[in-house]
């Protein structure tokens, strides 16, 4: 099924990225019983399509196993403990194809109930980054692989994960095996999304995992 | 090409290019009605936050709220918060209105009329425009990081991998930024040549970004905010894929990227490409242009200006 005119895995052409997003949204729409994401849809823009996933988190939520020093940062007003009844925060994840690195790039922002953006990196770490991922995110650069840029579509400042290591990470996981288009974003979320709380809902992974697995075996049969 | 680190005459001229700035403190932050004016010739290839320390010092006594720091500073032009991660030359070409006066295609330089120069900017230390600008930090780490990311991206485009930039020593990488801070072209070229011409690696794509102000980006879906930009980017090869491998000109690249704004590859009909304050002829090969006229991060940052 590999087309020689398209860039090889893990790189995506614009067309392949668009297909990948469509397949992903289709899979999301099939699974009605998940409660983790509020929505997953494709947003069209002059700079190409973007997959937008919206999730809600409680302001007092803590990503699993946080690093202790992230909690008592006194210069961070948003880190104040709020009552459990505090309204939800909305996390908007936008996945774009990087025109340079040719892999999906993750942009995200958190807004409070009044629509005000939360800009504190420490709050982002507390709410979204699990203790397991924190050291690697902080390892390179000022805020690590996590930084801020102006969004390619809205031009507003948002957080992003620098895509320069994405291709290597995907290759390490995908390896020699043929990766199907529908699997691509599942795999990408496992590597990139999971760092900041974007995990494929379990029901969705289960629903899709069965079909993908079957196709994979079929293609192996043909070869053998 | 010139010798290893000998700058071309054009590159020397571009690095020497400055914009006269007249910076006033925002009225609501100033103790006096008429604030003093900070006048400076600021290099086109440099970045505004490098001025903040001096501005903070200069205006400190006029500040109503003195509990602010240089990193709280931001500049605006006619209510457009200026994106500090862009070189000031690009900001000027995009927003000052000077580009609109470059319609003369003869290439003859025209003096900027008095109302544009010096470029009148407003300085703020409070009410950070969170919907427009990424925050700065006391050590300018965010600025340095943005510059490095851009350099990294340019390298990835040029040679198809991060190997060249990764193999740069820490010392060289520090030197590259220091050269920008100090406007030291010789120091800059001593490192940049390693990035441009690594042995045994061929050129794949030209680092080029095209900027459309809100007026030109008519198909924008979101409510455009003041100063909203659309950045257009694609994989631009130095030659086009014909059997002969014809050289790609700027006109060909713009025609592919923005066919509605550049319907012709040869002559500008609706819009003009502006780089370093000048209209670039469409016949210029992109590879040559990138070699001599790229900004310090390695990119050709081209502003698109609509023709009247």
Inspect the interface and report whether the beta carbons of B230 and A46 lie closer than 8 Å.
yes
Q: Are B272 and B304 in contact (CB under 8 A)?
A: yes
Which H/E stretch holds residue A23?
helix A14-30
The torsion angles phi and psi of A22, rounded to 5 degrees, stand at: -60, -45
Q: From the first residue on, what is the mean pLDDT of each consecutive set of 10 residues in chain A (224 residues)?
A: 58 91 89 87 90 91 56 50 68 96 95 88 84 68 71 91 87 78 87 90 75 45 37
Tell me if B153 is assigned to some domain: yes
Residue A117 is classified by DSSP as B
So what's the pLDDT on residue A98? Answer: 95
The structural domain count of chain B equals: 3
Residues B214 and B270 in one domain: yes
Residues B131 and B212 in one domain: no
Which positions in chain A touch B231 (Cβ < 8 Å)?
Answer: 47, 152
Residues B14 and B111 in one domain: yes
* Residues lower than pLDDT 50 in chain B: 1-5, 105-107, 216-222
Bridge partner residues of A90 (DSSP): A56, A111
Residues B126 and B223 in one domain: no
So what's the pLDDT on residue B258? Answer: 95
Residues B282 and B263 in one domain: yes
Please give the Cα distance from A222 to B11 (Å, whole number): 59
Inspect the interface and report whether the beta carbons of B225 and A149 lie closer than 8 Å.
no
**A145: helix, strand or coil:** strand
Residue B145 contacts A where some CB pair is shorter than 8 Å: yes
The CA distance from B182 to the nearest CA of chain A, in Å, is 22
Inspect the interface and report whether the beta carbons of A117 and B131 lie closer than 8 Å.
yes
Say if residue B100 is exposed, middle or buried (CB neighbours under 10 Å; 0-12, 13-18, 19+).
middle
- Would you call A21 a catalytic residue per the annotation? no
* Catalytic residue selected from A21, A50, A164, A195: A164
Tell me if B66 is assigned to some domain: yes
Residues B274 and B177 in one domain: no
Residues B190 and B290 in one domain: no
Query: Beta strand B208-213 with B271-275: parallel, antiparallel or unpaired?
Result: unpaired
Residues B113 and B28 in one domain: yes
Tell me if B22 is assigned to some domain: yes
Which H/E stretch holds residue B19?
strand B18-25
- The owner of tokens 């000077």 is B98
CATH code of the domain covering residue B152: 1.10.246.190
CATH code of the domain covering residue B265: 3.10.20.90
Inspect the interface and report whether the beta carbons of B131 and A100 lie closer than 8 Å.
no
Q: Comparing C-alpha atoms, which of B194, B220, B192, B218 is closest to residue B270?
A: B218
So what's the pLDDT on residue B55? Answer: 98
Which positions in chain A touch B144 (Cβ < 8 Å)?
Answer: 142
Q: Are B60 and B29 in contact (CB under 8 A)?
A: no
Tell me if B49 is assigned to some domain: yes
Residue B204 contacts A where some CB pair is shorter than 8 Å: no
**A218: helix, strand or coil:** helix
Q: Are B286 and B300 in contact (CB under 8 A)?
A: yes
Q: Encode pLDDT of B217-232 as tens digits.
A: 444 444 556 777 889 9
Q: Comparing C-alpha atoms, which of B248, B156, B245, B235 is closest to residue B195?
A: B156
Tell me if B1 is assigned to some domain: no
Inspect the interface and report whether the beta carbons of B149 and A162 lie closer than 8 Å.
yes
Please give the Cα distance from B271 to B280 (Å, whole number): 11
Q: What is the DSSP string of A25-46?
A: HHHHHH-TT--SEEEEEEE--T
Q: Are A191 and A136 in contact (CB under 8 A)?
A: no
Domain housing B229: 208-306
Residues B186 and B214 in one domain: no
Count CB pairs under 8 A between chains A and B. Answer: 64
Please give the Cα distance from A215 to A64 (Å, whole number): 34
Tell me if B46 is assigned to some domain: yes
Pair of tokens at residue B109 = 């330089």
**If you measure CA to CA, which chain A residue comes closest to B155?**
A100
Last residue of a domain, one of B154, B169, B196: B196
Look at phi and psi of residue A24 and say left if phi exceeds 0, alpha if psi is from -120 to 50, else beta: alpha
Tell me if B129 is assigned to some domain: yes
Which positions in chain B touch A164 (Cβ < 8 Å)?
Answer: 152-153, 156, 162
Which positions in chain A touch B135 (Cβ < 8 Å)?
Answer: 119, 148, 157
Which positions in chain A touch B219 (Cβ < 8 Å)?
Answer: 46
Interface test with B, best of A100, A103, A137, A139 (most B CBs within 10 A): A100
Interface test with B, best of A97, A139, A150, A153 (most B CBs within 10 A): A150
Residue B219 contacts A where some CB pair is shorter than 8 Å: yes
The CA distance from B81 to the nearest CA of chain A, in Å, is 12
Strand order in the sheet with B229-232: B229-232, B208-213, B300-306, B271-275, B278-279
Residues B18 and B133 in one domain: yes
So what's the pLDDT on residue B89? Answer: 97
Pair of tokens at residue A112 = 């409070």
Nearest to A117 among B130, B232, B234 (CB): B130
The CA distance from B158 to the nearest CA of chain A, in Å, is 10
Please give the Cα distance from B219 to A7 (Å, whole number): 29
Neighbours of B239 (CB within 10 A): 14
So what's the pLDDT on residue B31? Answer: 95
Please give the Cα distance from A20 to A181 (Å, whole number): 6
Please give the Cα distance from A136 to B32 (Å, whole number): 49
Say if residue B34 is exposed, middle or buried (CB neighbours under 10 Å; 0-12, 13-18, 19+).
exposed
B295 CB-near residues (< 8 Å, 6+ apart): B45, B87, B89, B90, B301
Residues B236 and B122 in one domain: no
So what's the pLDDT on residue B92? Answer: 96
Tell me if B202 is assigned to some domain: no
**B47: helix, strand or coil:** coil
So what's the pLDDT on residue B268? Answer: 94
Interface of A with B (CB under 8 A): 44-47, 99-101, 117, 119, 141-143, 147-150, 152-157, 162, 164
- Whether complex ipTM tops 0.85: yes
Residue B256 is classified by DSSP as H
Q: Are A104 and A50 in contact (CB under 8 A)?
A: no
Inspect the interface and report whether the beta carbons of B220 and A152 lie closer than 8 Å.
no
Q: Comparing C-alpha atoms, which of B150, B193, B168 is closest to residue A100?
A: B150
Which H/E stretch holds residue B292?
helix B286-293
Please give the Cα distance from A66 to A82 (Å, whole number): 18
HSE-CB for A29 with a 13 A CA cutoff: 8
Residues B14 and B132 in one domain: yes
CATH code of the domain covering residue B38: 3.10.20.620
């Amino acid at each position: 099924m590999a087309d020689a005119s398209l860039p090889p895995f893990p790189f995506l052409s614009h067309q392949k990225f668009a297909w990948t997003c469509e397949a992903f949204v289709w899979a999301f729409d099939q699974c009605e019983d998940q409660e983790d994401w509020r929505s997953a849809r494709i947003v069209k823009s002059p700079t190409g399509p973007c997959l937008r996933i919206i999730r809600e988190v409680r302001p007092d939520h803590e990503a699993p196993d946080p690093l202790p020093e992230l909690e008592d940062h006194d210069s961070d007003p948003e880190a104040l403990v709020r009552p459990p009844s505090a309204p939800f925060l909305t996390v908007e994840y936008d996945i774009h194809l990087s025109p340079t690195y040719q892999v999906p790039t993750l942009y995200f922002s958190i807004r409070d109930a009044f629509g005000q953006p939360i800009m504190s990196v420490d709050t982002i770490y507390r709410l979204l980054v699990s203790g397991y991922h924190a050291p690697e995110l902080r390892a390179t650069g000022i805020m690590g692989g996590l930084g801020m840029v102006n969004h390619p579509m809205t031009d507003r400042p948002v957080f992003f994960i620098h895509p320069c290591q994405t291709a290597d990470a995907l290759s390490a996981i995908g390896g020699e095996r043929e990766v199907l288009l529908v699997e691509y974003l599942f795999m990408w979320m496992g590597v990139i999304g999971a760092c900041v709380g974007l995990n494929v809902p379990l029901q969705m992974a289960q629903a899709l995992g069965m079909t993908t697995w079957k196709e994979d075996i079929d293609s192996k049969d043909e070869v053998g | 090409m010139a010798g290893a680190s000998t700058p071309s005459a054009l590159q020397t001229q571009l690095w020497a290019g400055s914009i006269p700035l007249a910076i006033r403190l925002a009225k609501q932050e100033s103790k006096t009605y008429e604030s003093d004016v900070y006048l400076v010739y600021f290099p086109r290839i440099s970045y505004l936050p490098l001025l903040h320390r001096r501005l903070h010092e200069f205006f400190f006594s006029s500040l109503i709220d003195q509990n602010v720091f240089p990193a709280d500073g931001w500049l605006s032009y006619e209510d457009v918060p200026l994106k500090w991660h862009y070189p000031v030359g690009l900001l000027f070409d995009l927003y000052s209105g000077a580009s609109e006066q470059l319609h003369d295609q003869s290439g003859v330089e025209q003096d900027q009329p008095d109302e544009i120069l010096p470029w009148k900017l407003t300085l703020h230390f409070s009410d950070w425009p969170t919907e427009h600008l990424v925050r700065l930090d006391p050590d300018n780490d965010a600025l340095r990081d943005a510059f490095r990311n851009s350099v990294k991206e340019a390298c990835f485009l040029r040679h198809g991998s991060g190997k060249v930039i990764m193999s740069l020593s820490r010392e060289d990488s520090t030197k590259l930024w220091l050269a920008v801070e100090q406007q030291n072209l010789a120091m800059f070229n001593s490192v940049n040549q390693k990035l441009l011409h690594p042995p045994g690696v061929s050129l794949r794509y030209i680092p080029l970004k095209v900027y459309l102000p809100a007026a030109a980006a008519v198909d924008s879906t979101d409510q455009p905010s003041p100063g909203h930009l659309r950045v257009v980017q694609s994989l631009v090869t130095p030659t086009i894929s014909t059997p002969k491998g014809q050289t790609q000109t700027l006109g060909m690249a713009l025609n592919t990227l923005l066919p509605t704004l550049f319907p012709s590859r040869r002559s500008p009909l609706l819009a003009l490409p502006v780089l370093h304050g000048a209209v670039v002829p469409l016949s210029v090969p992109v590879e040559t242009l990138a070699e001599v006229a790229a900004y310090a991060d390695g990119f050709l940052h081209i502003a698109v200006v609509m023709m009247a």
